Each structure stands twice: as structure tokens, then as C-alpha cells.
Amino acid sequence: MLKVFKDLVDEATVATVPESIAHHTSFISKRDPFLYAADRIIIADGASIPIYDGNAWRQIVNRGTLDLNAVSFLDTGGQFNVGWDYYIYLCLGENNDPEIVISANATYPYGFTVQNSRKIGGFHYGHIRHVSDDGKWIPVDSAGTKRGGTGTIWQRNVSVGIIPNSVWDLRNRPACAPEGMVKVGNKWVDIYISSAAEAIVMEGSGLSVVSGKLQSKYGQLPVTGTEGLNWYGFSELASLAGKWMMTYSEWIAAARDNPQGEDGADNYGWTKTTNTARQRTGCNVDAGGNFVEGGGLKPFAVSAFNIVDAVGNVYEWLDEQTYREDGGAAGWAWRDILGTGKGQAYLYKDTALVSLKAGGNWYDGVCAGTRAVNASGYPWNVAALTGVRLACDAA
């Protein structure tokens, strides 16, 4: 149970948080993450968390594992919404008794204030691909067979709930803002292709970003060259968010086992060869960005590590370049192709430098997949077909 262990004189005397758990080792996790309907949150024994009550620092110590039916601890609403981020708070209630509250509010939960609450963790409620419980995260069918075809076949064995690898806390979290992210290995990756949290304003097409902000959010249109962005613009916006574009290797790891695209359907990604435009982010999403129970435009477009839309919709710029031999006049020279005031590139041809793109676009059909890569786009190209998915280090 949570106990007020002692009053503290000042912040300098506050003990390590939590007191007995190593850095990057979570003290908040999803209980039985492979029992997908059981949205229970565990707070580990030994977690020791300081909180300031407006007058003094208090140290709250958990003596015994807390096993919480997460929805019962919501401050308002009574149910979780697909595609939302939720925050776990340690609060001081009546008589300064400690309690746990879960809220969609990013500042403090309903009924409390910044003076009597502290955000200690959170999670994303969204789509989960069912995988093996042996640590290998291999997709399973409804009978538990790895890549099996019994009952609900593995490609369609997807449900909604607290995404296990989205749960974060004060010890185990992204170095950037945690919203809409999952942990893959020792990196944190955006669940959704980047969309605009704030309108993107460019200083000319493909030049510098004047203003704007990217986000990883359900039900939004991916940002692409339609908003005037090329590889360089996405790199600027990634840096402003404390994130970066992934390498091909990192992207493949996160995208693994999103089923391959189809020519005549959009089950596993927005890939049908007759599609004509980008689509909103998410699985059971309709054309307006809303969640559709048991349906939607691309209901099974989720990877084994629970990133969405890795296959199709829009290409995703990667942080790797290669060399392209065709196109343009040949001969080593300084080439004024990077944009006004941006210097020049010493290349053999105008389009020799190429930035890799992953995943496939909205009409690529069976060509779209978790190793699909396009090596034709130069980084200064403003391409309506190309967006980005970002990542960051662990804090």
C-alpha cells in the first residue's frame, strides 16, 4: 500500500525515485500484458516518490505491489477512448492520504490541483497486435500459434487496450514528450505517422520551417510535402520536438510484422492500388478520423511492436542517404539544388544524393511492407507522397 514514509525538509533530501529500482527499469507496467482484455496497471513494491504539498515535501513509499483495475481509477468519463493518452498521478487526498488517479488531463486530474498531485507515469490506449509471451513478440493467431491461421488468423488478431510497451514512468520513459509513443528495444518510437499539432509554415517550399509542430496522434492526416516539407524540413521539426528520423534498421525493428499490403484491399494498411490520397492515422479509423468499433478503413494496420500505418498510407523519410547514378547532366561540380541561402552540393549529377523512404505509399499494394524501401527521392524533394515517423532516446 502507499504510505507517507516521512516528511522532508526540502527537495535536496528527497530519496531516489523509486528507491530500489534501477534506471530505465519500469516501476509502472501493464499486468499480464498478453491477457489483452485485462487493462490492469502494476505499481511495483519499493517505489518511493516525493511530492510537494505546497508547504513541505513528502515521500510516498509503496510497501507491497499495487494491482489496479485502471478504468476504476479514472477521474472522469468511466471508460478509455481509443487513441488517447492517459496519465497516472500520485495525489494527496483527504487528510493528505496518498492515492492513485488516472486522467486524460496532462496537467493534473479532475478534483486535484498542481499542489496536491504529481504525474508519475502514463500510457496510450490503442491497438495491440497479439504476440507470443516468450519475449520474442512474434504474432500469434487466436489459438496462440505463432503466425498461425486458426480461428482469428495472426494478421487479424488485433484488439484495443492499454498498449503494453507504451506504459512509461519516472524511471522508464522517453527523453522527449511521451504522448503517442511505444518502446522498441531501447528507443521510443511514434505510434503514428507525424501529423501537425500546429500548422506548418514554411519559408518557401522546401526551405526553412518558420513555425509548426509535429505530433503522434490518432485520426489525423499525415504531414507530407503537401505542407511544403522535404527531408530537411522534417529534420528541423524533429529536432524541435527532441526527436529524430529513424535509420532503416531501426524502422524495420519497429514495423516488424505489420502484414504486407494488398492490391485490392486496405486491411493491413492504406495500400489498395486504386487509392488516390493519404488517409488519416489509426486502425479502426473512418474518413473523418473517428474510431469505428470493429471496422474502419484499415483495421489491422499495426505491427508486432504496436506502431500503426507502417505499411502504406505515405512513405516515411529515413535518416540515411545513398547514391543515385541516373538522371541529370554528369560531371563533378557544385550544384545549386539545396535551396536559396542553403549552400550547394558537390555532386556528379543533380539527383545523385538520395534519402531513403520506408513502408510504401497509398497505392503501392503488395509492394508495401515492413522492409519496403524507396531509394529514388533526393532530400530536397518536396513530395506529397512522403511523411515521417519520429523516435527519441530513453531518458
Does the structure show a pLDDT above 80 at 283? yes
- Report d(CA 190, CA 389) in Å as an integer: 6
Compute the 3-state secondary structure of the chain and give helix, strand, coil in percent, each to the nearest 5: 10, 35, 55
Per-residue pLDDT, 197: 98
**Local structure of 393: helix, strand or coil:** strand
Examine the domain organization and report whether 74 and 223 are in the same domain. Answer: no
Q: List pLDDT tens digits, range 34-75.
A: 888 899 999 999 888 989 877 888 889 888 899 999 999 999
Whether residue 199 is found in the same domain as residue 323 = yes
Distances (CA, A) of 195 to 83, 187, 213: 14, 20, 8
Q: Are residues 242 and 376 in the same domain?
A: yes
Q: Are residues 168 and 210 in the same domain?
A: no
Residue 22 has pLDDT above 80, yes or no: no
Distance CA 160, CA 128 (A): 6
Does the pLDDT at position 21 exceed 70? no
When pLDDT is averaged across residues 182-199 and rounded to a whole number, the result is: 98
Is residue 89 within 8 Å of residue 101, measured between CB atoms? Answer: yes
In a domain? residue 183 = no
261 versus 351: the higher-pLDDT residue is 261
313/293 Cα distance (integer angstroms): 21
Has residue 218 been placed in a domain? yes
Are 196 and 337 members of one domain?
A: yes
* Residue 179 within any structural domain of the chain: no
Check whether 154 has a pLDDT greater than 50. Answer: yes
For residue 18, pLDDT over 90 is answered with no
Q: Is the peptide bond before 18 cis (omega within 30 degrees of 0)?
A: yes
pLDDT for 25: 77
* Mean pLDDT (whole number) for 336-353: 93
- Residue-wise pLDDT for 197-248, tens only, equals 999 999 988 889 999 999 999 999 999 999 999 999 999 999 999 999 999 9
Tell whether 319 and 198 lie within a shared domain.
Answer: yes
Q: How far is CA 6 from CA 11, 115, 295, 339, in A?
A: 13, 18, 52, 61
In a domain, 368, yes or no: yes
CA–CA dist 44, 41 (Å, integer): 10
Is residue 8 included in any domain, yes or no? yes
Give residue for cell 498542481. 114
Question: CB of 50 within 8 A of CB of 11?
Answer: yes
Nearest to 310 by CA among 263, 361, 241: 361
Domain assignment present for residue 285? The answer is yes
Q: Are 367 and 261 in contact (CB under 8 A)?
A: yes
Are 292 and 365 part of one and the same domain?
yes
> Do 341 and 310 share a structural domain?
yes
Co-location of 96 and 237 in the same domain:
no
- Which residues 6+ apart lie within 8 Å of 85 measured at CB? 104, 106, 122, 123, 124, 125, 178, 179, 180
What secondary structure does DSSP assign to 251-272, as a single string?
A: HHHHHTTPPPP-SS--SSSB--
Where residue 210 sits, what CATH number does that domain have? 3.90.1580.10
Confidence check: pLDDT of 9 > 80: no
* H-run or E-run covering 250: helix 248-255
Nearest to 205 by CA among 22, 381, 19, 2: 381
Task: For residue 31, give every residue at least 6 positions away whose Cβ sits within 8 Å of its Cβ, in sequence order, or none.
Answer: 38, 40, 41, 42, 67
Rounded CA-CA distance 114/240 in Å is 27
Say what the pLDDT of residue 23 is. 54
The pLDDT of residue 394: 95
- What percent of the chain has a predicted confidence (pLDDT) above 70? 94
In 3D space, the residue among 195, 310, 191 whose CA is nearest the CA of residue 261 turns out to be 310
pLDDT at 292 over 90: yes
Tell me what the pLDDT averaged over the chain comes to.
92
Those residues whose C-beta lies under 8 Å from the C-beta of residue 72, and which sit 6 or more positions away, are none
Q: Phi first, then psi: what are they for 360, rounded to 5°?
A: 110, 170
**Is 154 within the bounds of a domain?**
no
In a domain, 298, yes or no: yes
Length of the chain: 395
Range of the domain at 104: 2-137+164-173
Whether 1 has a pLDDT exceeding 60, the answer reads: no
**For the purposes of burial, counting CB atoms within 10 Å of the CB of 105, is it exposed (0-12), middle (13-18) or buried (19 or more)?**
middle
Domain CATH number, residue 86? 2.80.20
Query: 5 pLDDT band (50/70/90 cuts)?
Result: very low
pLDDT greater than 90 at residue 282: yes
pTM of the model: 0.93
| 169, 202: one domain | no
Number of domains in the chain: 2
Give yes or no: residues 119 and 198 share one domain: no
Cell 511523411 identifies what position?
387
Only one residue has cell 493528505, namely 96
- 3-class secondary-structure state, position 237: helix
| Shared-domain flag, residues 129 and 194 | no
